[in-house]
Homo-oligomer: A and B are copies of this chain.
Amino acid sequence: MSTLPSKQLETFDNAVPERDYTIHIETPEFTCLCPKTGQPDFATIKIDYVPDLKCVELKSLKLYFWSYREEGGFHEKLTNQILTDLVAATAPRFMRVTGIFNVRGGVYTNVVAEYRKEGWVAPTPVHLP
């Protein structure tokens, strides 16, 4: 695998496809360019998903995030684009992408987008006391 920024997301086989289980991934090291001013923007990106047959490979995910370093993008569009790309690569049962953008002009902004595979129903959550 190359160590250059890349839009190519690698996957590996889910070792436990018989279970609905959760993978949480989080990086505070996301940066892109502001589409209005061209100046750097910074964010924390969180991914929560229930894999189906494929899991996203973490090194390629890091190169994928890197690929935004020289790209502009509004917060809303960018967060949805990451979701769309990860869904295309992994075809998960469920996925949520959260973008927590650094404060600008005294205003904090987060964007949260979700995908659910058609027909998939989340297991009834067990809330232990």
Contacts and interface: CB of A to CB of B under 8 A. Distances in A.
Contacts of A126: 94, 96, 114, 116, 122, 129
B58 A104 contact: yes
Q: How many copies does the complex hold?
A: 10
Interface in A87-129: 94, 96, 98, 102-114, 116, 122-129
Contacts of A124: 122
Interface in A24-64: 24-29, 31, 37-40, 42, 48, 50-51, 55, 58-59, 61-62
A55 B113 CA distance: 15
A16 to B, nearest CB: 4
Interface string A56-83: 0011011000100100001011011000
